[in-house]
């Protein structure tokens, strides 16, 4: 049986970057505001603009603020409103994560938002890397109906966290996509793929150029070309 193709997601914050990501061969973009804070919900106008300039998948970060991932009820209500915005603006997916104060997945709130988000695809983002027990968090996220988890294997980079990511893939048994992110580049992408068995990668934006883009199409293309056949 032929393995599915490797898919590349690029995290970015502008229409210029989104266009460059598409030109370079990315399969999906994750649109954020405030990348320096780990990403927050982008404004509706930007979501609509990016949707108008790319044909590939568009996932929208849903995060009301920087900081931790334990949210008050009004913040969860705001996240629900932001998911509705992303739907109306033409997104294909949304990206969010919620934890309780004991660092377990907030299953009640996450399930509520995940169900509301349908038919959009749902990613539990790197809040997962703050979870106290990654194996338990994996089961919680699966039980809530998410499509994928973004993780660095609870280490600073996905390369360092590759053993944990590989174990998550084994435990998931095909029930959810595990997508490594953090510190991935042309020099280590192939090794991360080989060590973990994943079929998706998440790559952060690079240095901003004169057009305002954080993504260079040629660099994206070279990354895609580094993937093992």
Q: What is the pLDDT of residues 109-132, one digit of tens each?
A: 999 999 999 999 999 999 999 999
pTM: 0.93
Cβ-count burial 100-126 (b if 16+ within 10 Å, e if not): eeeeebbbebbbbbbeebeebbbbbbb
For residue 203, what are the β-bridge partners? Answer: 10
For 163-191, how does the pLDDT look when each residue is reduced to its tens digit (9 = 90+)?
999 999 999 999 999 999 999 998 999 99
The enclosing domain of 87 has a CATH number of: 3.20.20.380
What is the per-residue pLDDT for 49? 98
Closest CA to 88 of 53, 146, 45: 45
Q: Which of 32-46, 145-159, 215-229 shows the lowest mean pLDDT across its residues?
A: 215-229
Does residue 48 sit in helix, strand or coil?
helix
| 44 found inside a domain | yes
| 2 found inside a domain | no
What is the per-residue pLDDT for 213? 57
Three-point CA angle 185, 134, 28, nearest 5° = 40
What is the per-residue pLDDT for 83? 98
| 125 found inside a domain | yes
The answer to whether the beta carbons of residues 209 and 216 sit under 8 Å apart is: yes
Closest CA to 125 of 147, 143, 108, 103: 147
| 46 found inside a domain | yes
Categorize the per-residue pLDDT at 207 as very low, low, confident or very high, splitting at 50, 70 and 90: very low
The answer to whether the beta carbons of residues 153 and 165 sit under 8 Å apart is: yes
Does residue 80 sit in helix, strand or coil?
helix
| 86 found inside a domain | yes
| 1 found inside a domain | no
What is the per-residue pLDDT for 18? 95
Categorize the per-residue pLDDT at 208 as very low, low, confident or very high, splitting at 50, 70 and 90: very low
Give the domain range for residue 49. Answer: 7-225
How many independent structural domains does the chain possess?
Answer: 1
Report whether pLDDT(65) > 70: yes
Report whether pLDDT(192) > 50: yes
What string of H, E and C letters represents the secondary structure of 86-105?
Answer: HHHCCCCEEEECCECCCCCE
Residue 179 main-chain phi, psi, to 5 deg: -115, 110
């Amino acid at each position: 049986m032929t393995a599915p193709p490797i898919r590349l997601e690029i995290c970015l914050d502008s229409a210029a970057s989104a266009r460059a990501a598409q030109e370079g061969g990315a399969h999906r973009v994750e649109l954020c505001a405030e990348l320096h804070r780990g990403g927050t919900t982008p404004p509706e106008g930007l979501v609509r603009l990016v949707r108008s300039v790319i044909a590939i998948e568009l996932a929208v970060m849903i995060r009301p603020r920087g900081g931790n991932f334990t949210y008050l009820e009004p913040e969860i209500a705001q996240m629900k409103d932001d998911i509705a915005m992303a739907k109306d603006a033409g997104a294909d997916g949304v990206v969010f994560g919620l934890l309780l104060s004991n660092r377990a997945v907030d299953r009640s709130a996450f399930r509520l938002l995940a169900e509301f988000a349908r038919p959009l695809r749902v990613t539990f983002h790197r809040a997962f890397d703050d979870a106290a027990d990654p194996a338990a968090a994996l089961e919680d996220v699966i039980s809530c109906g998410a499509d994928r988890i973004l993780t660095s294997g609870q280490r600073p980079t996905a390369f360092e966290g590759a053993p944990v990511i590989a174990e998550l893939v084994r435990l998931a048994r095909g029930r959810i996509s595990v997508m490594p992110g953090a510190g991935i580049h042309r020099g280590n992408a192939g090794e991360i793929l080989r060590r973990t068995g994943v079929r998706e990668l998440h790559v952060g934006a690079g240095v901003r150029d004169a057009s305002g883009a954080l993504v260079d199409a040629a660099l994206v293309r070279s990354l895609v070309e580094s993937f093992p056949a």
